[in-house]
Amino acid sequence: MKKKPVLKIRNLTKLYGDIVGIKNLDLDVYPGEIMGFLGPNGAGKTTTIRACLGLLQKTEGDVKIFGLDSHEDSIEIRKRTGYLPGDFGLYDDLKVKTILKYLLSQSGVSDESKMRELSERLELDLDRKYGNLSKGNRQKVGIVQAFMADQDFIILDEPTGGLDPLMQQKFYQFLKEEKEKGKTIFMSSHILAEVEEVCDRVAIIRKGKLQVVEDIGSLKEKMGKKLVVEFDDGVDPSMFDLDGVQDVQIDGRIATMIVTSNLDEVIKRISKNDIVNMSLETFSLDQLFLTYYREGGSG
Ligand SMILES: Nc1ncnc2c1ncn2[C@@H]1O[C@H](COP(=O)(O)OP(=O)(O)OP(=O)(O)O)[C@@H](O)[C@H]1O
Ligand SMILES: [Mg+2]
């Protein structure tokens, strides 16, 4: 039995005058999953997120979070949903600590432990004035405020913008731990590797329309693996004549191919020969993602 979605988007459309923000969007995010939301600049990610939280007036459609209506119940939804906006400004003259404590109290939470723990992990100095922080450190303030009330659902609009690679890794680790605790996360991103690393599923949007919603694992399976074998002797190409083996190229003693299935049989066949070297690599998803990004990409 499938669980009820935490976030359920149906036929969501937002027009800015003549400009299409998003059109007829359907998407479900289930409890305990991390859903990545990927798309080029201007694709409609921020529009979708803001419409989900009732922060902008949708043109058409229906959004439910925890079964509550995004518009009518937006206050109740915000109590139960952490949110990192794509752009945010906070009070420059106040200390980070003061701002975070204030925002925490606004969500009706008095326990500061998560705020302190996450700040420590991200090496955010709570005693500095917000206005004096670098871009990356400001982003950390946004991340901490999104998670500090320990809500069950967290929506993040490009969470790692401005973070250095080390901090990104720390943040990914944190996200995985939150998922382990049963949290549900919906995050937009431009970084393919990040989606590949932390997300269970990905939704790709382009020009306001959803292109694909897929399990990261199934996407990788579809991509197949690249197998390179160097034989001691000449190669008989007919040995790769198998379902699920494509793009076989023979260059002297080296055979290169894409294997989408039948890997076991391929290995059995090649092992009947003397092998000097061999490598098997899973494709990165970049190539596939780019086909969805590009004009005329499938979907
Ligand atoms: N306030 C607005 N007025 C008019 N058009 C807008 C407004 N906000 C967004 N748009 C348009 O809606 C479309 C979707 O924008 P949106 O900000 O949702 O994209 P995005 O996927 O978040 O992009 P980015 O990756 O750059 O953050 C774009 O064409 C954008 O120009
Ligand atoms: Mg955006």
Q: What does CATH list as the number for 225-282?
A: 3.30.70
Q: Is the CB of 42 within 6 Å of ligand 1?
A: yes
Nearest ligand, CA 57: 1
Cβ atoms 167, 140 nearer than 8 A = yes
* Single pTM value for the model: 0.84
Sequence-separated (6 or more) residues with CB below 8 Å from residue 155: 49, 52, 53, 81, 82, 83, 84, 146, 185, 186, 187
Sequence-separated (6 or more) residues with CB below 8 Å from residue 225: 258, 259, 260, 263, 280, 281, 282, 283
- Going by CATH, does the domain composed of 7-91+148-220 fall within 3.30.565.60? no
- pLDDT per position as a tens digit, 145-177: 999 999 999 999 999 999 999 999 999 999 999
- pLDDT per position as a tens digit, 217-275: 888 777 778 899 999 988 888 999 999 898 899 999 999 998 988 999 999 999 999 99
Instruction: Name the residues around ion ligand 2, CB cutoff 5 A.
Output: 45-46, 86
CATH 3.30.70 domain extents, the chain: 225-282
Q: Is the CB of 16 within 6 Å of ligand 1?
A: yes
CATH 3.40.50.300 domain extents, the chain: 7-91+148-220
Largest CA distance in the chain: 73
